[in-house]
């Protein structure tokens, strides 16, 4: 018995003391014209600074690389596009142009990063939204008639060829999604298993929030608070395009930043569209395309882009939602008009 007790005492003393529970880390970074909120879980204090340095560095790089008007890689490409012909582009931008061409085709041109001139004409090329007045109808018509699209842009290695001088790139409808996919891939390679990055309401997460899933809210486009809550899964992104963030009112009419490339004017057939997908780049582009498509055509565009989980709120506040997303969301307001609709 004495020997057994001694053995037990020895075993107990050899067990290391439990390490302190890693803290939940919250940091905020300014990038892409918004505050980017980062939450990390299951990471030590010692590793926090290394991971955050990587995230901040990636955010700064992508903001610099994809800004359409500053003197970075995309800004230089835009200068060269005006002259048409072939030129060498910065390799950092080539993948984003390539995937944008695919999504532009799948969306029937509703997602169109080639309308940078139109975006600048409306004043939405800056981090600060315009206050009006609206551009002259003749100026808008002139740009639309030139039909800028990525169809005129071809890629061969790091060489780009353009045949339409009206093309000017603006990645505002896809850059945040692409950045989130890349950043979360990078930090997973560093050993981070649980994180969520929120770029002004558009987000992607890996792992979960402690013992429970990450839980987020989907904003009401016309009132305070959220329309619905959603528990998101590992490696899942949620992106919303809405007319309520960057806009101005002129003659009692709302002029927002989501421009319909077919008309040259802000799209009028929705107030918000939310897309859920594992690919944040696709979710970002699809949210823009579905918003422009509006309630009459959004399901067809969703199908062609491979989107199964989406929700559209029309101008009357009526909610249209796909079955795959409807079974997951928890609506938080009473008396909502909700219709479950399936892609054709």
Q: pLDDT per residue over 59-102, tens digit each? A: 999 999 999 988 899 999 999 999 999 999 999 999 999 999 99
Residues 314 and 217 placed together within one structural domain of the fold? yes
pLDDT digits 0-9 by tens, 155-184: 999 999 999 999 999 999 999 999 999 999
Position 183 in a domain: no
Query: Cβ–Cβ contacts within 10 Å for residue 149, how many?
Result: 19
Please give the average per-residue pLDDT across 51-60, as a whole number: 96
- Whole-number pLDDT of residue 11: 44
* pLDDT (0 to 100) of residue 126: 77
Q: Looking at the predicted structure, is the pLDDT value of residue 20 above 70?
A: no
* In 12-110, beta strands by DSSP E: 25-31, 34-41, 85-88
Query: Which tens digit of pLDDT belongs to each residue from 200-229?
Result: 999 999 999 989 999 999 999 999 999 999
Q: What is the CATH number of the domain that holds 271?
A: 3.10.520.10
Residue 125 confidence (pLDDT): 85
Encoded tokens for 159: 């060489």
Question: Cα(204)–Cα(277) distance, rounded to whole angstroms?
Answer: 9
- Characterise 337 by phi-psi region: left (phi > 0), alpha (psi -120 to 50), beta (else): beta
What is the C-alpha to C-alpha distance for residues 344 and 342, in angstroms, rounded to an integer? 6
Is the full-model pTM beyond 0.85?
yes
Domain range for 309: 213-340
Cα–Cα nearest to 231, from 219, 214, 218:
214
Q: Could you give the number of structural domains in the chain?
A: 2
Judgement on whether residues 158 and 231 belong to the same structural domain of the protein: no
Domain boundary among 136, 162, 188: 162
Res. 243: pLDDT tops 70: yes
Does residue 197 or residue 16 have the better pLDDT?
197
Cα–Cα nearest to 102, from 155, 147, 148: 155
Question: Are residues 234 and 156 part of one domain?
Answer: no
Q: How high is the pLDDT of residue 118? A: 97
Does residue 264 sit in the same domain as residue 147? no
Instruction: Select the more confidently predicted residue: 260 or 32.
Output: 260
**Percentage of the chain lying above the pLDDT 70 cut:** 94
**Residue 245: count of CB within 10 angstroms of its CB:** 17
Distance CA 267, CA 275 (A): 17
Quote the strand ranges of 151-251, DSSP E: 153-156, 159-162, 194-199, 202-206, 214-219, 226-232, 236-242, 247-250
């Amino acid at each position: 018995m004495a020997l057994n007790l001694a053995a037990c005492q020895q075993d107990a003393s050899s067990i290391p003391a439990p390490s302190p529970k890693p803290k939940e880390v919250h940091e905020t970074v300014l990038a892409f014209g918004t505050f980017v909120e980062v939450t990390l879980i299951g990471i030590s204090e010692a590793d926090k600074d290394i991971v955050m340095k990587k995230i901040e560095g990636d955010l700064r790089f992508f903001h610099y690389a994809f800004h359409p008007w500053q003197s970075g890689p995309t800004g230089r490409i835009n200068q060269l596009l005006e002259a048409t012909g072939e030129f060498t582009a910065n390799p950092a931008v080539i993948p984003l142009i390539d995937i944008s061409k695919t999504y532009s085709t799948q969306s029937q041109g509703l997602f169109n990063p080639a309308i940078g001139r139109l975006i600048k004409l409306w004043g939405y090329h800056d981090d600060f939204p315009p206050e009006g007045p609206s551009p002259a109808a003749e100026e808008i018509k002139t740009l639309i008639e030139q039909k800028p699209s990525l169809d005129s842009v071809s890629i061969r290695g790091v060489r780009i060829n353009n045949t339409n001088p009206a093309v000017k790139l603006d990645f505002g409808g896809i850059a945040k999604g692409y950045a989130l996919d890349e950043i979360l891939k990078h930090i997973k390679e560093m050993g981070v298993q649980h994180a969520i990055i929120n770029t002004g309401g558009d987000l992607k997460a890996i792992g979960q929030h402690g013992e429970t899933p990450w839980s987020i809210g989907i904003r009401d486009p016309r009132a305070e608070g959220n329309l619905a809550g959603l528990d998101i899964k590992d490696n899942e992104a949620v992106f919303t395009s809405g007319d309520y963030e960057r806009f101005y009112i002129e003659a009692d009419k709302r002029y927002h930043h989501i421009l319909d490339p077919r008309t040259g004017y802000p799209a009028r057939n929705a107030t918000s569209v939310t897309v859920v997908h594992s690919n944040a780049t696709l979710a970002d582009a699809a949210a823009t395309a579905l918003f422009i498509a509006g309630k009459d055509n959004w399901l067809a565009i969703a199908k062609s882009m491979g989107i199964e989980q989406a929700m559209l709120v029309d101008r009357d506040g009526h909610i249209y939602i796909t079955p795959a997303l409807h079974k997951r969301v928890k609506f938080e307001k009473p008396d909502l008009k909700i219709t479950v609709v399936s892609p054709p």
